[in-house]
């Protein structure tokens, strides 16, 4: 790979000048048109590719955003990471993706590795698992980093002192449940979640609140998982019992699809026999016409990326202020499975 020095030599200018022409600061320090042209020509003939590594070392900041996703195969997080990547690219940033398999230990090691790579910031996609062994340890480490100036943003409820961009999970579930109630359903079951997973627990809270208000009997088969398989298993359990509910609200689209899968193969009609709803509005449920609360997943990711890419970038704020942004659930339920 051609270096600036070689370019400079070929164009008979100094490396400083070559740098100014090829990478940026030609405004701060003017370079004549002639020189510019010859430098660019030299760069072309030699096939110059700037070394992002050297730039990062010099500037103490690589144009990389680290992403730690709870489960990369879950469309919920996949959408977020896509949002991050798209927005990051607009700022010339690139994303390093790490999958944590919902394991705080893995999150911790990935967090470290990402920091070693001098990333501009780190985004956590996915919420806390309270009570899990590594959770507190991770939080301590993250908080230390945040205080040291590392830009961290959590796209979910997290026990970090970092910037957070979170959806109001309780409100979302509340609205969805209300919607199902408004359709005339009374017996509405709730399925899904993982013990200690804040986001999931908040959704159960929202569901309970709505049911309580309507004086309808709540039935929570929660904490059964967040995957399609877990949804399927829970649905099997439900259909094995004496009486099917009028409707099933699921903690996310994946679980809902699993429920749908079982109900369908068991011969039930949706929504005639039972209504099913999910949360997320991911591509996964779209093809089934799943009723779901559409969440701005891609936009959330974009927000996170933009925050990292811009905060303290050209501005002169040394310590980017951590803030907490709550996205209300503004979307209305949509779909045909209700």
Partner DNA sequence: CTAGCAATGGATAACGTTTTCCGTTACGCT
Partner DNA sequence: AGCGTAACGGAAAACGTTATCCATTGCTAG
| C-alpha atoms less than 13 angstroms from C-alpha of 13 in its C-beta half-sphere | 24
Contact call for residue 266 and a second copy (CB under 8 A): no
Q: Does the bond joining 277 to the residue before it have cis omega, within 30 degrees of 0?
A: no
Residue that the structure tokens 């701060």 belong to: 28
Cα distance between the two ends of the chain: 59
Examine residue 319 and tell whether it contacts a second copy (CB under 8 A).
Answer: no
Is residue 95 near a second copy by the rule CB under 8 A? yes
Binding mask 180-219 for a second copy (x = CB under 8 A): ----------------------------------------
- Which of DNA, a second copy, none is residue 23 near (CB under 5 to 8 Å by kind)? DNA
Q: C-alpha distances in angstroms, 247 versus 45, 119, 174, 238?
A: 67, 46, 15, 11
Nearer to DNA, 27 or 272 (CB): 27
Toward DNA, which CB reaches closer, 31 or 96? Answer: 31
- The nearer residue to DNA, 118 or 322, going by C-beta atoms, is 118
- Compute the chain's Rg from CA coordinates: 25
* Least distance CB 193 / DNA (angstroms): 42
What is the torsion angle, in degrees rounded to the nearest 10, for the CA atoms of residue 315, residue 20, residue 84 and residue 148? -50
Instruction: Tell me which stretch binds a second copy (CB under 8 A): 31-39, 69-77, 159-167, 239-247.
Output: 69-77
Contacts of 159 (CB under 8 A, 6+ apart): 128, 130, 135, 139
31 CB-near residues (< 8 Å, 6+ apart): 17, 20, 21, 39
Nearer to DNA, 39 or 171 (CB): 39
- Applying CB under 7 A, which residues contact DNA? 1, 3-5, 12-17, 19-20, 22-25, 29-32, 34-35, 48-51, 54-55, 57-60
Q: Is 96 helix (H, G, I), strand (E, B) or coil?
A: strand
Determine, following the binding rule CB under 8 A, whether residue 46 of this chain makes contact with a second copy: no
Note whether 139 and 111 are within 8 A (CB): no
- Binding residues with a second copy: total (CB under 8 A): 51
Is position 79 an interface residue for a second copy (rule: CB under 8 A)? Answer: yes
| Backbone φ, ψ for residue 304 (5° rounding) | -60, -45
Restricting to residues 275-304, name those near a second copy by CB under 8 A: 283-284, 286-289
Binding site for a second copy (CB under 8 A): 1, 47, 49-54, 56-57, 62, 64, 72-73, 75, 78-79, 81-82, 85-86, 94-99, 112-118, 144, 148, 228-229, 231-232, 257-258, 261, 264-265, 283-284, 286-289
């Amino acid at each position: 790979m051609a270096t600036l020095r070689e370019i400079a030599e070929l164009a008979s200018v100094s490396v400083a000048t070559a740098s100014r022409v090829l990478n940026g600061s030609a405004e701060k320090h003017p370079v004549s048109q002639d020189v510019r042209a010859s430098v660019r020509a030299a760069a072309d003939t030699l096939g110059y590719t700037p070394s992002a590594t050297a730039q990062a070392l010099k500037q103490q900041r690589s144009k990389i955003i680290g992403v730690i996703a709870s489960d990369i195969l879950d469309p919920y997080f996949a959408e977020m990471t896509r949002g991050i990547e798209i927005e990051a690219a607009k700022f010339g940033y690139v994303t390093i993706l790490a999958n944590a398999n919902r394991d705080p230990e893995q999150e911790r090691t990935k967090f470290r590795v990402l920091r070693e790579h001098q990333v501009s910031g780190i985004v956590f996609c996915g919420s806390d698992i309270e009570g899990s062994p590594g959770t507190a340890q991770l939080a301590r480490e993250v908080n230390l980093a945040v205080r040291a100036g590392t830009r961290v943003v959590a796209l979910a409820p997290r026990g970090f002192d970092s910037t957070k961009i979170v959806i109001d999970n309780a409100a979302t579930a509340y609205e969805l449940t209300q919607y199902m109630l408004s359709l005339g359903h009374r017996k509405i079951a709730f399925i899904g979640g993982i013990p200690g997973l804040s986001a999931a627990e908040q959704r159960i809270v929202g569901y309970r609140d709505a049911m309580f208000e309507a004086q309808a009997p709540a039935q929570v088969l929660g904490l059964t998982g967040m995957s399609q398989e877990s949804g399927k298993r829970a649905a099997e359990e439900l259909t094995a019992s004496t009486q099917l509910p009028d409707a099933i609200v699921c903690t996310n689209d994946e679980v809902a699809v699993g429920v749908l899968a079982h109900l369908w193969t068991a011969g039930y009609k949706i929504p005639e026999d039972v209504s099913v709803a999910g949360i997320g509005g991911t591509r996964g449920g779209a093809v089934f016409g799943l009723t779901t609360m559409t969440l701005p997943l891609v936009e959330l990711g974009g927000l996170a990326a933009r925050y990292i890419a811009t905060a303290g970038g050209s501005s002169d704020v040394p310590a980017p202020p951590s803030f907490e942004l709550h996205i209300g659930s503004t979307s209305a339920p949509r779909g045909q499975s209700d």
